[in-house]
Amino acid sequence: MRSILLIAAALLSFAATMTFESFGANAVVCARGVYRAGCAGPNGAVVARKPVAAGCRWVWVDGVKARRCY
């Protein structure tokens, strides 16, 4: 009797998982390198070059004027 209940529970849980619709994975993975940045997704990959350095500018950080270079 116990084995029949175990088998019935296993079949019921298997049937319950098969009734739900599974969705496709739409994960996107991005990485930023020294020279290029790229993303790989379900429709392919994209690679972009980094722009030339924009230069430096002065900004206020906590009341202190600081030079930030990007």
The pLDDT of residue 22 = 61
Q: Strand, coil or helix: what is 7?
A: helix
Looking at per-residue pLDDT, the higher value among 12 and 31 belongs to 12
37 bridge partner residues: 32, 48
The pLDDT of residue 65 = 92
The pLDDT of residue 52 = 62
The pLDDT of residue 39 = 78
> For 34-53, what is each residue's pLDDT tens digit?
666 777 777 777 777 666 65
Are residues 41 and 30 in contact, defined by beta-carbon separation less than 8 angstroms? no
